[in-house]
Amino acid sequence: MMSMLTPLEEALVLGAPLFAGIDRDTVFWLIAGAVVGAYPEGGMLFSQGDPADRFFVVLDGHVNLFALTETGVQTIIEVMEPGQMFAEAAMFMNARFPVNAEMTMKTRLLVISAKSFLTHLEQRQELATKLFASLAQWQNRLMREIADLKGRSPAQRVGMFLLAHDQSSQDTIRLRLTMVELASRIGITQESLSRVMARLRQLGVAVNRSEVVIGNPEALRQFCQGDD
């Protein structure tokens, strides 16, 4: 399986929070039998309610995790990017996927069998303790970040989202989301997002199709961290 991964992809797998503090040989022993899958843009990876019989590491591309309201409106829960692992919590609980997953571009994933992973883990109880500790730390950090975001204004949440994204240069970000997806990701309406972007323009933020130019990153950072 390791021969299917480039050095960069191998580093992405080893850097997943679940594997924090675990050596390389042990990680690849745990995920023995994992496969690399290539998926087309717009393809569904799994649907809400499907058995959580596998989990994933994003090697390239992006995966939207989303839920559907009773009226069929899509709400993006998370956008998974290269180096991020997802569906591992559902796997540990021997449950079903709580959301849907869709590729937003051509995507390459490491697909890890839950059955094989758990079978290996049963042979090394000390690893199970370490993995659960890593998972708990990661989820606690995520909950703190979510709580912090809920205390921010919509404009601050959008600004923090932009600042957190990969930057192709010091002040230019290439968006991987449409404005509709960004509004859903932040949890606001498209109309609210339009008002937010108008406000952020006063801080030097400009949108040009798939690019966002931040004229003064430090000013935006101070705005996001301060009282709105």
pLDDT of residue 8: 93
Q: What is the mean pLDDT of each run of 10 residues along the chain (228 residues)?
A: 80 89 91 93 92 94 82 75 89 82 92 92 82 68 59 84 66 73 79 90 83 84 77
3-state secondary structure of 160: helix
Question: For the structural domain made of 2-149, what CATH number should be given?
Answer: 2.60.120.10
Domain with CATH 1.10.10.10 in the chain: 152-225
Write out pLDDT tens, residues 103-116.
988 999 999 999 99
pLDDT of residue 107: 95
DSSP codes joined into one string, 86-126 = ESHHHHHTT-B-SSEEEESSSEEEEEEEHHHHHHHHHT-HH
CB 109 within 8 A of CB 37: yes
Q: Where are the beta strands (DSSP E) in the chain?
A: 35-39, 44-46, 54-60, 63-68, 74-80, 85-86, 100-103, 107-113, 172-174, 205-208, 211-214
Domain with CATH 2.60.120.10 in the chain: 2-149
pTM listed for this prediction = 0.70
Question: What is 152-225's CATH number, 3.40.50.720, 1.10.760.10, 1.10.3260.10, 1.10.10.10?
Answer: 1.10.10.10
Write out pLDDT tens, residues 173-211.
777 677 887 887 777 888 888 999 999 999 888 887 777
